[in-house]
């Protein structure tokens, strides 16, 4: 794995080298504003297959295609909805993926065999420069092994994927920290398939009616969007969620577990008195929490924690993306 340090304000020659690797069918990990993506030429089936092999990703979990602008996104759709232009004007470049009817040029492997494809114009300057230099659509799920915690730094990519990647562009931590909101425009009513930092309320300001869906399929049925598997975004440690009102009891259990010679981590909003545990205090602002969450999980995993106890976040619209990630990371009771 080659890692090249990149200045986000002046990406320079590294971006052109990465573009060459992508056009040749290689894999490049690069920062977006959400997480680091594992990119490959989206119209090259062999390159797309390398993504699935590198991640150990099931074929029924589709990929998001990243492009440099609205015109490039429109070219990937067989029927570009008028609503997509209104959303693009408001939210692109940015952490919003639109699921639309796909063009014939999109390989079936990108869309898990479905007639739709997710497209996005990322806001990170390195991602934007890379897409402009490559001049191709780039399929890019998160740059980690399937179902594990997504990477927000190049070091996270290295630890998860190692030599499976040809090149990594390292521009430091990603600012948003959780994956994009995914909105399907393929049906009669726009439907959020995966919550993210762009809330349902913000989408409704543009479109009016928007419903929240997802979790319709199970087993090996094709998903219309990434992020819909029951177990996802998960560290190696078992994850237990606790409500704020049961905080004292939960911390007591965590301390007891640590006393039984287990490595235990705690993620909470306030300083926690939990002897023998490793405690990470989190911000109370939803955006700041999201930016910190995956790094905190990686930190506790790297410390060898066998269990992580996490204080549940508020059940309000701005926290929906974080709540979704915590729910999928949590160990089933």
Domains and CATH numbers, the chain: 2-212 (3.90.870.10), 238-329 (3.40.50)
Percentage above 90 pLDDT, the chain: 83
Q: 230 exposed, middle or buried (CB, 10 Å; 0-12, 13-18, 19+)?
A: exposed
Percentage above 70 pLDDT, the chain: 97
CB–CB of 67/108 below 8 Å? no
Q: How far is residue 161's CA from residue 36's CA, in Å, rounded to a whole number?
A: 12
Task: Give the C-alpha distances (Å, rounded to integers) separating 327 from 171, 277, 322.
Answer: 29, 22, 9
| Per-residue model confidence (pLDDT) at position 333 | 52
CB–CB of 293/241 below 8 Å? no
pLDDT digits (tens, 9 = 90+) for 231-286: 777 898 999 999 999 988 988 888 888 877 678 999 999 877 777 688 999 999 99
CB–CB of 179/199 below 8 Å? no
Examine the pLDDT at 47 and tell me if it is beyond 90.
yes
pLDDT digits (tens, 9 = 90+) for 78-112: 999 999 999 999 999 999 999 999 999 999 999 99
- Reported confidence tier of residue 220, pLDDT bands at 50, 70, 90: confident
Examine the pLDDT at 294 and tell me if it is beyond 80.
yes
Q: What average pLDDT does range 4-11 have in this prediction?
A: 93
CB–CB of 167/29 below 8 Å? yes
Examine the pLDDT at 188 and tell me if it is beyond 70.
yes
> By mean pLDDT, which of 163-167, 180-184, 232-236 is the weakest?
232-236
| Per-residue model confidence (pLDDT) at position 118 | 98
| Per-residue model confidence (pLDDT) at position 215 | 58
Q: What average pLDDT does range 297-303 have in this prediction?
A: 94
Q: What is the DSSP letter of 48?
A: H
H/E element, 118? strand 116-120
Examine the pLDDT at 207 and tell me if it is beyond 70.
yes
**Mean of the per-residue pLDDT values of the chain:** 94
Task: Give the C-alpha distances (Å, rounded to integers) separating 18 from 11, 25, 166, 267, 314.
Answer: 11, 11, 9, 36, 40
Q: How far is residue 41's CA from residue 23's CA, in Å, rounded to a whole number?
A: 6
Tell the residue number behind the tokens 């549940």, with chain if given: 312
| Per-residue model confidence (pLDDT) at position 217 | 59
Q: How far is residue 268's CA from residue 178's CA, in Å, rounded to a whole number?
A: 18
Q: What is this structure's pTM?
A: 0.95
H/E element, 64? strand 64-66
- Reported confidence tier of residue 21, pLDDT bands at 50, 70, 90: very high
In Å, the largest CA–CA distance within the chain is: 60
Joined tokens for residue 19: 């573009």
């Amino acid at each position: 794995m080659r890692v090249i340090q990149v200045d986000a304000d002046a990406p320079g020659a590294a971006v052109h080298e990465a573009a060459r690797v992508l056009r040749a069918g290689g894999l490049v990990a690069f920062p977006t504003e959400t997480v680091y993506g594992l990119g490959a030429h989206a119209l090259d089936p062999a390159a797309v297959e390398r993504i699935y092999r590198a991640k150990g990703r099931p074929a029924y979990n589709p990929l998001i295609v990243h492009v440099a602008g609205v015109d490039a996104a429109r070219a990937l759709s067989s029927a570009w909805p008028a609503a997509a232009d209104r959303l693009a004007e408001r939210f692109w470049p940015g952490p919003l993926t639109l699921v639309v009817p796909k063009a014939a040029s999109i390989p079936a492997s990108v869309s898990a065999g479905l007639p739709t494809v997710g497209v996005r114009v990322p806001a990170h300057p390195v991602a934007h420069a890379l897409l402009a230099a490559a001049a191709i659509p780039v399929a890019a799920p998160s740059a980690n092994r399937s179902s594990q915690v997504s990477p927000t730094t190049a070091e996270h990519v290295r630890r998860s994927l190692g030599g499976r990647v040809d090149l990594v562009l390292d521009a430091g931590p990603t600012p948003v920290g959780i994956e994009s909101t995914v909105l399907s425009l393929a049906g009669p009513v726009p439907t959020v398939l995966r919550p993210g930092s762009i809330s349902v309320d913000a989408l409704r300001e543009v479109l009016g009616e928007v419903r929240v869906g997802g979790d319709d399929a199970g087993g090996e049925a094709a998903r219309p969007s990434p992020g819909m598997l029951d177990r996802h975004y998960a560290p190696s440690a078992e994850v237990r969620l606790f409500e704020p009102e049961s905080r004292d009891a939960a911390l007591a259990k965590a301390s007891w577990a640590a006393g039984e010679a287990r490595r235990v981590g705690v993620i909470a909003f306030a300083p926690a008195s939990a002897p023998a545990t490793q405690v990470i205090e989190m911000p109370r602002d939803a955006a700041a929490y999201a930016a910190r969450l995956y790094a905190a999980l990686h930190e506790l995993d790297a410390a060898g924690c066998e269990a992580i106890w996490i204080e549940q976040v508020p059940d309000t619209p701005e926290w929906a993306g974080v709540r979704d990630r915590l729910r999928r990371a949590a160990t089933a009771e």
